[in-house]
């Protein structure tokens, strides 16, 4: 039998490794930023073009590399971070596998310029598809500048899997924010197609969070501090009233490395029990410092998952720390609801000595004296003061009694109890009651062959979905003007998302007066929603767009219509009168697809007479 096992060529092995390390342009930025941080940089600049597909450039002022190190950095499994396997359990650095630069160089055109502090000239290396095309001396400042051009140029299939520029840019911003939040002592900047998206000066954790998410974020944060032998916890959680409809503002950092941990996330959510609205998620920025020997960060290629030695203790400590922080800053309710908060002892009084109160006593007081003589005592230094009784009888002096018989009852006007406004035309009594509501969830209607059962929320969602699609397509929506414009705050990423769908929102009836850096002003809204629902509706819309980012205009319109329809539709548990029930039934069967909701779920079902007869057979 012939031998069939053979070694893969280096360029094939590199491209396979690149599939694990480089999934999209954001993966390249993450790896390059981590290398710059490990080089002890004080300032890092990121420049991208066409969402990183054309150019990704990372410039730092770190230690730089020698000629030999610059050449070796592109070899597979070449690293300065570890030498033996045990070093994996004592890591304080970011990258350690030695695969990042080799994988990136295998699928792009890479140019590296680097210089150490004690060298007069630097080194410039150019690589195309793992092959070094040039290596020369060059003039460059201290640090490293690496440019990655034409990503996936030699793997067209991988390039075709990349999403639109808006989607890829959003992933890049996500990775950039994670690294920037973990290292507030380093200055960061991000530029896309010549536009500066972020300029973050060196600061503390609170200032860095505020600089990234907007100035209004500062008032939403509650500090969390806990130091134990197992873990040191610091950071912030958001106040419950500012909880989001999405999980966008949830960050865990372990030894300054961003991680994803559903287990620890459950601990945070559990500590907010009873404080959050339904389907709302708390914001948190938590930094955990643990002994590197107690964690394994080598269980996932992207290094975003970590295995802890004692997860149960960590869970309990984290939950307790957040509960303590919420209670300490009067965010969580207390058991004694009648307690006066003004009687609380301030924290700066904890070391203050107590002083004896001064008591004033009337030494001339005699209880056996008459009441008038006792009342005459009123020294200036006493708080005793007796007011004269109010002469309330004088209020009625001069009024003549009037008999109720003189009042003409027919002249009295009574306030009408009739409801003037009605959502649907016509009176309820004039509508034939051919429908009724079951458990405030289903609408029951009769058919010639049996009965019809309709899910009221899904039916209304289908009606609104088709109406919104039509309004966006033909721009026929009607707006209601607000007497006082609404001003809503969003972070940078949410504002970018609203800018993308602004035109479609205006075609549904929204009117935007202004778009600032972190605030939007709305002067008109669709007639189908109320002013109080606008903020909730937009938050849900942004959350839906974060989960399912559309690639083109049609997908964007479809997702926008689905999200708005689902938010505006009547909910299960809402009582409907006969007119409203009949309105939903009539409008549903006027739709193009009355049987399925926008999310492809069944809207109604029928029960025939034959099926009913079988039940009683």
- 8 Å CB contact between 174 and 304: no
CB–CB of 221/329 below 8 Å?
no
- For residue 43, the surrounding DSSP H or E stretch is strand 43-49
Helices (H), 418-533: 456-474, 492-500, 502-508
**What was the pLDDT predicted at 603?**
92
Q: φ, ψ for residue 222 (rounded to 5)? A: -120, 120
Query: Are 212-328 and 435-605 equal in CATH topology?
Result: no
| DSSP 8-state symbol, 215 | G
Closest CA to 147 of 121, 123, 113: 113
Residues 456 and 442: beta-carbon distance below 8 Å = yes
Q: What is the pLDDT of residues 176-220, one digit of tens each?
A: 999 999 999 999 999 999 989 899 999 999 999 999 887 778 888
Rounded to an integer, what distance in angstroms lies between the CA atom of residue 412 and that of residue 204? 70
The DSSP 8-state label assigned to residue 384 in this structure reads: -
370-428 tens-digit pLDDT: 655 545 545 554 444 555 555 666 666 665 555 555 555 566 555 555 444 444 444 44
* Residue 346 to residue 343: CA distance in whole angstroms: 9
Give the H/E segment covering residue 327.
helix 311-328
Q: What is this structure's pTM? A: 0.70
Distance of CA 314 to the CA centre of its chain: 24
Per-residue confidence (pLDDT) for residue 113, from 0 to 100? 94
Low-confidence residues in the chain, pLDDT < 50:
374, 377, 381-384, 418-431
Q: What pLDDT is stored for residue 334 in this prediction?
A: 54
* Cβ atoms within 10 Å of 465's Cβ, excluding its own: 24
Q: Which CATH class is domain 435-605?
A: alpha beta
Query: Domain locations in the chain?
Result: 10-200, 212-328, 435-605
pLDDT of residue 431: 43
Place of tokens 């080194």: 123
Q: According to the model, what pLDDT value does residue 392 have? A: 60
Return the CATH class of domain 212-328. alpha beta
Tokens of 408: 């003409």
Write the CATH number of the domain with boundaries 10-200.
3.30.565.10
User: CA-to-CA distance for 98 and 119, rounded, in angstroms?
Assistant: 25
Q: How far apart are CA 487 and CA 548, in angstroms?
A: 27
Is 299 in a helix, a strand, or coil? Answer: coil
pLDDT digits (tens, 9 = 90+) for 115-174: 998 888 999 999 988 888 889 999 999 999 999 999 988 888 888 888 888 888 888 999
Residue 74 and residue 102: Cα distance in Å, rounded? 5
Backbone phi and psi for residue 107, each to the nearest 5 degrees, phi listed first: -130, 20
How far is 213 from 494, CA to CA, in rounded Å? Answer: 9
Q: How does DSSP classify residue 302?
A: T
Residue 426, beta-bridge partner list: none
Q: Which two tokens stand for residue 43?
A: 């300032």
Backbone torsions φ then ψ of 153, nearest 5 degrees: -65, -30
SS3 204: coil
- Do residues 102 and 49 touch, judged by C-beta distance below 8 A? no
With both helix axes pointing from N to C terminus, report the angle between 553-568 and 456-474 in degrees, rounded to the nearest 10.
140
Answer whether 513's CB lies under 8 Å from 521's CB: yes
Give the alpha-carbon dihedral of 544, 545, 550, 556, to 10 degrees: 90
DSSP conformational letter for 281: B
Gyration radius from the chain CA atoms: 35
Structure tokens at 343: 């009687």
- As a whole number of angstroms, the distance between CA 251 and CA 231 comes to 17
């Amino acid at each position: 039998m012939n031998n069939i096992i053979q070694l893969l060529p280096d360029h094939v092995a590199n491209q396979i490794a690149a599939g694990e390390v480089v999934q999209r342009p954001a993966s390249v930025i993450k790896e390059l930023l981590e290398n710059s941080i490990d080089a002890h940089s004080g300032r890092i600049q990121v420049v991208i073009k066409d969402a990183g597909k054309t150019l990704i450039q990372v410039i730092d002022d770190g230690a730089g590399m020698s000629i030999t190190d610059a050449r070796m950095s592109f070899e597979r499994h070449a690293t300065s971070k570890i030498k033996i396997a045990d070093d994996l359990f004592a890591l304080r650095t970011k990258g350690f596998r030695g695969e990042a630069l080799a994988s990136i160089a295998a699928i792009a055109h890479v140019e590296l310029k680097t210089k150490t502090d004690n060298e007069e000239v630097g080194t410039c290396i150019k690589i195309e598809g793992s092959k070094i095309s040039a290596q020369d001396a060059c003039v460059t400042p201290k640090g490293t500048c690496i440019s990655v051009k034409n990503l996936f140029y030699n793997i067209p299939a991988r390039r075709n899997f990349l999403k639109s520029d808006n989607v890829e840019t959003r992933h890049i911003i996500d990775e950039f924010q994670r690294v920037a939040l973990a290292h507030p002592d380093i200055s960061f900047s991000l530029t896309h197609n010549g536009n500066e998206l972020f300029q973050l000066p060196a600061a503390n954790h609170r200032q860095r969070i505020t600089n990234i998410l907007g100035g209004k974020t500062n008032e939403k944060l509650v500090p969390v501090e806990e130091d134990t032998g197992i873990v040191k916890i610091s950071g912030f959680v958001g106040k419950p009233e500012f909880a989001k409809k999405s999980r966008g503002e949830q960050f865990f950092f372990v030894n300054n490395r961003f991680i994803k941990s559903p287990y620890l996330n459950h601990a945070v959510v559990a500590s907010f029990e009873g404080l959050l609205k339904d389907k709302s998620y708390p914001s948190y920025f938590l930094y955990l410092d643990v002994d590197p020997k107690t964690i394994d960060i080598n269980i996932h290629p992207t290094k975003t998952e970590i295995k802890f030695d004692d997860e149960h203790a960590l869970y309990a400590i984290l939950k307790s720390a957040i509960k303590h922080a919420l209670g300490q800053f009067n965010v969580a309710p207390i058991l004694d609801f009648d307690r006066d908060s003004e009687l609380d002892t301030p924290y700066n009084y904890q070391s203050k000595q107590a002083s004896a109160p001064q008591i004033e006593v009337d030494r001339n007081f005699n209880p056996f004296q008459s009441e008038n003589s006792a009342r005459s005592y009123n020294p200036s230094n006493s708080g005793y003061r007796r007011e004269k009784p109010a002469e309330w009888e004088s209020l009625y002096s001069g009024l003549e009694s009037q008999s109720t018989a003189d009042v003409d009852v027919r002249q009295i006007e009574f306030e009408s109890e009739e409801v003037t406004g009605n959502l649907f035309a016509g009176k309820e009594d004039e509508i034939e009651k051919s429908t009724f509501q079951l458990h405030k969830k289903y609408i029951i209607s009769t058919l010639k062959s049996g009965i019809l059962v309709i899910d009221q929320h899904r039916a209304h969602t289908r009606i609104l979905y088709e109406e919104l699609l039509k309004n966006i397509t033909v721009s026929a929506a009607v707006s209601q003007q607000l007497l006082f414009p609404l001003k809503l705050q969003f972070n940078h990423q949410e504002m970018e998302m609203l800018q993308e769908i602004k035109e479609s929102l205006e075609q549904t009836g929204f009117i935007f007066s202004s778009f600032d850096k972190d605030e939007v002003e709305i002067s008109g809204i669709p007639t189908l929603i109320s002013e109080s629902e606008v903020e909730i509706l937009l938050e849900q819309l942004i959350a839906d767009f974060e989960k399912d980012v559309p690639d083109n205009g049609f997908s964007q319109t479809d997702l926008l219509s689905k999200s708005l329809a689902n938010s505006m539709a009547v909910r299960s548990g809402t009582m409907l009168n006969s007119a409203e029930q009949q309105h939903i039934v009539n409008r549903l069967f006027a739709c193009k697809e009355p049987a399925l909701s926008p999310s492809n779920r069944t809207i109604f079902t029928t029960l025939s007479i034959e099926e009913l007869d079988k039940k009683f057979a």
